[in-house]
């Protein structure tokens, strides 16, 4: 039976996890996204895409203004804000019932995003890049996603060496949680992400999804967000397939993640993956993975 969690959000709102798997839609507003080639750099186009996600059944919209693909260039906080704030403000005004997440590791960007209407901070660095981000979360009451990561996008694969993958990921995520809670973040505000594709070779990425229920990971007792969508680890089994053409492989990874206990899956093709998740949820429920409806 999957445990339920309630993630408090600003303004008295909350996010319920465990009754079904939630779908987080990726809305990259960068010119160098690996998956969509900067399709949504224009704020109007980005907002329209966000509204399409809502119509397709998305549960959370994750807006990102800096690519974290391998080798991606860092951008300043000022540039990141120019990219994300117009989109967050507009979406928050139009889809108030759908939580908005901001994909950032910078405290300054997180603060401005929360002020503009974001309710979740999604930090790919697990507070390694800017520990002050935790203070923003604590003061604002936002939800916090802590992802497992080592190094920076430019050199992360040099750190992809594990003697015991699940135990090491669990230990390092516990360290991130400890930093967050020392800064005043409530434990119940934290969601964990095993970091598929980040500082992990393809076999590591597949393994962390396959072992999401490992005792070392389960002992962290927090909900899981899994982001398998279109990433390069899929090429290990699909061949040299371009990112936009990896949705069938993504669908298999999403299904597996749901069956292994993910509470949220983070995806690009929202309309298609909502269908995938609903079918996977039905199977998971019949295996005793969800409470009775």
Burial pattern 243-281, b for ≥16 Cβ within 10 A else e, equals beebbebbbebbbbbbbbbbbbbbbbbbebbbebbeebb
Q: Record the tokens describing residue 175, joined without a space.
A: 């360290």
In the annotation, is 278 catalytic?
no
In the annotation, is 231 catalytic?
yes
Distance in angstroms (rounded) separating the CA atoms of residues 261 and 211: 10
Query: 10 Å Cβ neighbour count for 231?
Result: 23
Query: 10 Å Cβ neighbour count for 100?
Result: 26
Distance in angstroms (rounded) separating the CA atoms of residues 125 and 218: 21
Distance in angstroms (rounded) separating the CA atoms of residues 266 and 287: 23
20, 231, 246, 284: the active-site residue: 231
H-run or E-run covering 83: helix 77-94
106, 200, 266, 284: the active-site residue: 266
Among all residues, which ones are annotated catalytic? 231, 266
């Amino acid at each position: 039976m999957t445990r339920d969690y309630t993630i408090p959000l600003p303004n008295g709102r909350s996010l319920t996890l465990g009754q079904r798997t939630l779908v987080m839609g990726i809305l990259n507003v960068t010119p160098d996204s690996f998956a969509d080639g900067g399709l949504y750099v224009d704020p109007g186009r980005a907002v329209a895409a966000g509204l399409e996600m809502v119509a397709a059944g998305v549960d959370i919209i994750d807006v990102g203004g800096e690519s974290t693909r391998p080798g991606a260039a860092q951008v300043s906080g000022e540039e990141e804000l120019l990219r994300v704030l117009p989109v967050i403000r507009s979406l928050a005004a139009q889809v108030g019932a759908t939580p908005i997440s901001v994909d950032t590791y910078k405290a300054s960007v997180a603060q401005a995003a929360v002020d503009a209407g974001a309710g979740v901070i999604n930090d790919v660095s697990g507070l390694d890049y800017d520990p002050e981000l935790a203070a923003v979360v604590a003061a604002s009451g936002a939800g916090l996603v802590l992802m497992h990561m080592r190094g920076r996008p430019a050199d992360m694969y040099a750190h992809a060496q594990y003697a015991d993958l699940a135990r090491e990921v669990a230990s390092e995520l516990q360290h991130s949680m400890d930093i967050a809670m020392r800064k005043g973040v409530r434990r119940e505000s934290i969601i964990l992400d095993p970091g598929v594709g980040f500082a992990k070779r393809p076999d590591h990425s597949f393994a962390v999804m396959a072992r999401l229920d490992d005792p070392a990971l389960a002992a962290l007792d927090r909900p899981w967000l899994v982001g398998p969508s279109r990433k390069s680890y899929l090429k290990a089994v699909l061949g040299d397939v371009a990112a936009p053409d990896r949705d069938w492989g993504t669908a298999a990874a999403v299904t597996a993640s749901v069956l292994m206990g993910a509470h949220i899956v983070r995806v690009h093709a929202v309309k298609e993956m909502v269908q995938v998740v609903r079918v996977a949820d039905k199977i998971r429920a019949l295996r005793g993975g969800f409470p009775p409806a």
